[in-house]
Amino acid sequence: LGSRGALAAALACTLLVLRAGSTTGLANVAEGPQGAIRVVAQNSSIRFGEGVDLTLSLESDADITSVRTYYRPLGTRTITTYGYAEFAPGRKVTARLTIPTAAPTYYPPGVVFEVRYEVADAEGNRIDTEPLTIEYLDPSFTWRRLSKGNLTAIYHDRPATTIEDLLAELAR
């Protein structure tokens, strides 16, 4: 496959090239002492082209008063953004926040967000969760990965051989 073929393959498919070592999935949660704030569940849902909906369910022996969400796209020179999740204060809460991904804050497919929470209750207890990562991909497609050297292609609806040829050309 020559340079023209590689270029055509790149234009013909949705291709994302990431650095090797990117990870996705939920991380463990750092919890406070016994009787303090407890994380019950954390979830995310992608509405591709609109946002990433984050949900954090918590319990505490005192009313939970603050849930601050920090998020940033992974990479060099990125800025961490924070927002206060919406919830009704209480001992059992579900806090929600959406990371906007549409204009004017467009994020391309394949961006990996790092998300963490800072939670406080009325008795002054506070926890910081361990960061979790969320890969922003359109859930309506079945995504596949192929790697060559330090390049990883994330693709859908294309033959693996086409992507293998493209990666070989890019690795030269």
pTM: 0.75
165: pLDDT strictly greater than 80 = yes
Mean pLDDT of the chain: 83
pLDDT one-digit tens code per residue, 63-113 = 999 999 999 999 888 899 999 999 999 999 999 999 999 988 889 889 999
Report the C-alpha gap between 115 and 132 in whole angstroms: 5
pLDDT one-digit tens code per residue, 41-57 = 999 999 999 999 999 99
